[in-house]
Structures are given as C-alpha cells and as structure tokens.
Structure 1
C-alpha cells in the first residue's frame, strides 16, 4: 500500500525536524493546511499530514458529516454478504491526532486569491496549502428524464449512504420473473469495475432469494468495460440466463427514462422494469469547478509528481476529482494520491525537499461469495501524466481456490484500508 521509496524514514525525519524548527521559532506563525472532504482521499491526507508533521502545523479537515460510508464494498451489502454498518466509519480517531481538528461544516466557496475557504457556518478558514478531495458530482441530465428527484425512484447509489439502502430495498422487492435494468455510466467514472460487480451481486441476491426467473439487463454506453472477460465468464457460469449486457450496437442508444412509468427507452424499444438503477455521467465535485480548478472535461488537471493543481500551486486535488492519467478512480488510488499530496504540502510548508511520487491501486470485485477477481497497478509520474509501470489482472479460468483466496485478500484489504484512512 505504501506510496513512498525505501528511504522514506530518513526523509520524513528530516521533514518533521524542519517543521518543528520552523514552528518553534520566536514569533513564527504555525503553518496551516486545510483539507476539504472527509472521504478516503481527504481523511488520508489529513491523517498523514498530522502524523508526518508530528503536530507542528495546523491541519483542518472540513467535513460536515459525522461519518463516512464507503462506496467500495457497498455492492457486497446489496448482495447480502455484508451488513450496512460495516461500511460506515467515524472520525473519532482523527480528532485525537495532534494538530488535527475537524471543522463540522460544508465548504461553500474557495477564494484562491485570499487563500480562504468559506464555510457554511459563516467562518472563513485561511490556508497556506489546500488539499481538495470532494469526490464526484452526478450529471443527472446525462440521462434524459433523470434528475435528483428521479433518483428516489430509480436510485443511482453511486454515492453511498441512503441511496445504497434504497437500492437494496428495491432489489429485495423485485419479484420472481421481474426485470432489473441498469444504465451504466460513460467514461470516466468512479470505480470502473463497480457497475459490473453490482450486477454480479444483484444476480447472487436474486438466486439466494429463490427468484430464478428474474433477469438483469445492462444498457451500456460503452463497447467494453473493466474486467469484461472475467465478468462475462462469471455471469455465464454462475448466473446463466440472468444477465444480458448490451452495448450501443445492440440497444442503439439510451433515449431516456420515465420514473413515473418505470420505463427505459432505447433507440429500439421501451422496457418497463421493476427496478431501474441509473448510474449517470460524472464530474469533479462542484467546489473544484466553482474554484476554477477543472478544465473542459469537468475534472481537475494535476502535476503527476505531487497531485498539485496545474491552475494553482497552493492547491492539491486528489481522488475521483483529479485527472490522474492511467490511474482508476478508486478508493485505493485516492488513498495513494492523498499521501503523495500530503507529503508535497508538508515539504512546501517546511521548505524541505521531496522525492519522486509512486502510486498504487488494487481493485477486487466479487462475482459470487467465493469468486473474486482483481486488477492491480503501480504508477509513476512520467512526463506530464501518471503512467502505469506494472500491472496485474486476474485470468479467466482460474482455479476456484485462487478466487477464494482473493475473497479473503479483499476482506483483509478493506479492514487495513479503512484503518489506514480513519485511524
């Protein structure tokens, strides 16, 4: 999981000493690092800035919510394999970190010229360096007829929490012989294998509930997707006749949805479904776009060696909101990027040198309770982007024992990752 070179202890020791010396100088003002967003990227950045800075600077995490619900592993809740509570994590351990406090408010505006974050409680929060991890916004208009209100009927559940529970309740209510339609998102989007793991867990839940005649149709705007061969092998072998995946050459284009009639219209037909799961197009969280940190893609360009915004050297953007080259928009990626950004921000504030960034992301996907596949990548800054330098993808036809080991590995990773993020 580490994103740093083997000599990191010496570098970090020197960095901490420099910070302590600077903050202890007579009349010196403590340097201020503000982190916006208490998800994986933001919580990791705040925690590691506190650890590596050894309490020698002021770190403020801006997060209005009292807890965070992970999107990763939420599909296992849908499949009946995990309780909802296992996805929810609080911030108590972070509040005990020296020099780290949590501002229980929402960030409403960033004044980059004055280096201020304006909060919903009316308090201005000054910063010397700012790390943004706002996640994604959903582009509801990307699917005609869809809206935030429509999501209460046709849930997206692409932001975990109440939507996750809603999708689960609607999945459990699908009758035998019923139809589920998923509208998959266009690239780029959060968690590339996520929709297809969700399909797998839905199929498992239907089978476990004794509903062999229920079906799932996936309407995809893409002609291929992450781990495609692995998922299709799993669907054919474990859920024959249940899952039908359609690319644009089959459905002809998604024309819209009607929540009141529970219908989905494509270029060729209109279908009425018992459950419609719409996952719309996505873009960087609005706070980054409001601050002028996103480009025409709707996401934020960064310096690959530090996650520093190309628009503002005092600001870093990590996680799903960033344009991170070859890296997927995953929880592991956000954790890895946040550590690089935290170290770069600390080096800025201490005037200490940094060293080359190294990133990693691994994503596990369950096809069935004892069948898990994975994709792994190691990444480095190469030129003006983050490039993959090593990678691994599960093979089709792997022995059952390999897939069972992957399930245990994924469980262990989740426990380790959430401990690393939230303390």
Structure 2
C-alpha cells in the first residue's frame, strides 16, 4: 500500500466548559441528544462523525477530562526522539468551532441508565438519548505485586499518554553506559499489543545514538509470545545486538514482585536489577464503564458486533480499548474504525439515516530503527457472534529496506490522517 494521505485515510477507514456551572445540560430544542464520554481515537471520532453526518440534526456533547489530548499511539516515537511532544498533542477547538460539538472538560463519574443521565464529578448532569462510552483503559495496579499508582511517578507505566510519557523519556535520557532498564510487559488483553516492543526498540535507539552500547533494555514478559515477535527480534539483532533481552515466563518462571525503591524485579528465576523501571500493569475498561454496569467478568465491555451497541444497554455504545472487539486488537486505528460504525448506527436510530453493514479495519505500525518500520493489520466483519478477521497481513523477516522505509512513510501519513479524522 502506498503512503496514506490525510484525505485517503478518511476514505479508507471510512458550547464551552463554562457550561459546567449549570446543574443540567439542556437539550437543543427538538434535537435528539448524544453524549460521548472520552475524547480519544474512539470518542472524538464518534462525536465528529455524528455531528458532521447528521448535518446538525443531532446535539452532540463530548465529555473529556483534559483540555488537550496526547495520543498514546505514536508516543513511542516521542520517546525515541522522532517526534516532539507537541506533535502528538491535539486540541478540541475545531470540533467545537466547526462541528458545533459541546466540549465539557471534566470527569464523568456515574451513568443513570434508567433515566439516561450522566453525572459529572461536580454534580452537573448531562441527559442523553444515546450514549457513547469510550473511556479507554484503566490500570490494575495490584496486578504487579509491589507496584502502585504512587510508585508510577518513579517507575512510569506511560500507558496513558501525557505526563507519564514525559517521565518515561526523562528516565531514559538519564541512563548511563552499563546501566539497565527493566520493563515489565503487561498480560493480555491490553492496549496496543506491539507497543511495549516498539518502546524497547525506541529506548535502544536512544541509547545507541548516544554511544551507550553497554546499556541494556531487559523485558520481563508474563506472555509466552508477543505481536510481531519474529520481526522484532530480527530487528533487535540487526540494529541493537546485545542491547535488548526478552524473557518470557518459560525462562523467568513468573514475575513475583517489584521493588521500585531498590530498582528490582523478583522472578521465579532470579532478581533483576535496573537503574530505571517501566512497569506496565494489567488493564481493564475505564472506570466509568464498570460503574455503569457495562463490563463483564473480564473487566471489559461486551458489544454487538454489527453495531458496537453495548450488550448490556441498547441506548449505549462502547468503542475503543474498553470494549471486547473479538479479533480486533485494542488500538487507535481500531477505535477510529469502530467509532464510524457506532456513529452510523446512532444516526440510524435517531434521525432515520441509512445504515450499511458494518466493516472494520486496523493496522499497527512499529518503528524498530530509523526507516525500519514493521506492520500488522486486518479487515474485519461481524461473524460467529463477534468481530471476526476476514483478511490479514503482517511484515515478514528479511524484507527489503525500501519496503520498511515505505512502511514508516505510510505510518506518518496515517498519523496525520487519523488525527485530522478525530479532531477535524
């Protein structure tokens, strides 16, 4: 596939916070109301497409706790020095000014499903006819013995982008020759399956570029295998020989505990010590999804594959990392694709717009070294009661350097395209 332009990506994938002073958000007269919780790849896309394609016939409110949004996807390239922090941080201004979306900056804390009302942390309420829940993930802190939210200030997870990403980069930049970075990878399912391994690549890139060839990145993984493992490990051997070591459970015997103060990870095999730690815990759907009763025993939200409608409530749609999306991975591309299906279905519900059969897509690119990018992806459709893969691809070992460079250029085009698709 040639590099994706902003326009091609759109074709391929198909009021202000001052209002918080009011106790209740009032419906625009005569218009059905959609509320979207979460302003990431899923939520922002859904809000924009509902507003844009209904041509103002639906009143759309977007609830997001941040003034701006920093993408978790592409944050590894900031860590590796390929992007600035500003380039992965985006404003909601165009969604408000060009699409008439009401952006509420604050935390949604409860959903009254019977009365169709969202309650904010300050007590304000937001009524809805249809609700889109796109809160991303929350971290299960005690899934790694000895770790906590407080300790993430010293041993960042950086699995929610923003200040955590800056902490991760600062810790990496302080590494000296001969020191080790310890990464504890998360168990399945989690946001961005190739993400930890791209991150390790970017860490090694920074160390190598500074001439710190005796520094190492040690990955302690609870999983016996990981996404694109063969091509990652081939790339590590080619670009960073001896600098990245991956240990699965068959080798380390299980991750037993971490001691952030001591910089150690205790496993069934040995105690590993590092100068800096990147601990990525297990994950679940964002807290609001659980409190609204939209999750099952997995901690994530079951949905109807044909529509992204919650299996728990026909007036609610769950998209992005919080949902159980069958064969689809938890990624920004997936969330964006799911948002368009949900938006189409919601328009069908509320303004009798035409609804077409659902189709989904995903691609995940991972940069190993300058101009050496690998990818995995698929097309999906509803089948056998889930979102099922209908066609897939993955980078192969021993690929031509020109192809890997083209992959990187394609990913740059995709990033520009998806962020424009999200934020206008």
Is 2:210 aligned against 1:209? yes
Residues 1:243 and 1:4: Cα distance change in structure 2 (over 3 Å): closer
Partner Cα distance (1:98, 1:227) in 2: 39
Give the match for residue 151 of structure 1.
152
Give the match for residue 322 of structure 1.
323
CA contact (8 A) 1:218 1:244 kept: yes
User: What does residue range 122-137 of structure 1 map to in structure 2 within 5 Å?
Assistant: 122-137=123-138
Give the match for residue 119 of structure 2.
118
CA contact (8 A) 1:3 1:360 kept: no
CA contact (8 A) 1:359 1:378 kept: yes
CA contact (8 A) 1:55 1:100 kept: no
TM norm structure 1: 0.93
CA drift of 1:96 comes to 1.4
- Once the two structures are superposed, what CA deviation does each residue of 1:94-137 show, in whole Å capped at 9, x if it has no partner? 00134421112210100001100001232111000000100000
TM norm structure 2: 0.93
Q: Which 5+ residue runs of structure 2 have no aligned equivalent?
A: 1-8, 15-27
- Once the two structures are superposed, what CA deviation does each residue of 1:294-348 show, in whole Å capped at 9, x if it has no partner? 0000000000000000000000000000000000100000000001101111111
CA drift of 1:70 comes to 0.4
Q: Which 5+ residue runs of structure 1 have no aligned equivalent?
A: 9-26
Partner Cα distance (1:275, 1:414) in 2: 30
CA drift of 1:278 comes to 0.5
Is 2:178 aligned against 1:172? no
Give the match for residue 224 of structure 1.
225
RMSD (CA atoms): 1.5
User: What does residue range 188-199 of structure 1 map to in structure 2 within 5 Å?
Assistant: 188-199=189-200
SS of equivalent residue, structure 2 residue 42: helix
CA contact (8 A) 2:112 2:118 kept: yes
User: What does residue range 270-349 of structure 1 map to in structure 2 within 5 Å?
Assistant: 270-349=271-350
User: What does residue range 261-276 of structure 1 map to in structure 2 within 5 Å?
Assistant: 261-276=262-277
Give the match for residue 366 of structure 1.
367
Of the structure 1 ranges 91-100 and 66-75, higher mean CA displacement relative to structure 2 is found in: 91-100
CA contact (8 A) 1:2 1:336 kept: no
Partner Cα distance (2:304, 2:323) in 1: 10
CA drift of 1:28 comes to 7.1
Give the match for residue 142 of structure 1.
143
Q: Which runs of 4+ in 1 moved over 2 A?
A: 1-5
Is 2:109 aligned against 1:108? yes
Partner Cα distance (1:174, 1:99) in 2: 47
Give the match for residue 87 of structure 2.
86
Give the match for residue 17 of structure 2.
none
Partner Cα distance (1:352, 1:342) in 2: 11
SS of equivalent residue, structure 1 residue 308: coil
CA contact (8 A) 1:184 1:218 kept: yes
Partner Cα distance (1:45, 1:306) in 2: 13
Partner Cα distance (2:129, 2:390) in 1: 33
Partner Cα distance (1:160, 1:132) in 2: 19
| Equivalenced residues, count | 403
CA contact (8 A) 1:4 1:357 kept: no
Give the match for residue 201 of structure 2.
200
Give the match for residue 390 of structure 2.
389
Partner Cα distance (2:272, 2:218) in 1: 10
Residues 1:355 and 1:255: Cα distance change in structure 2 (over 3 Å): same
Partner Cα distance (1:238, 1:332) in 2: 28
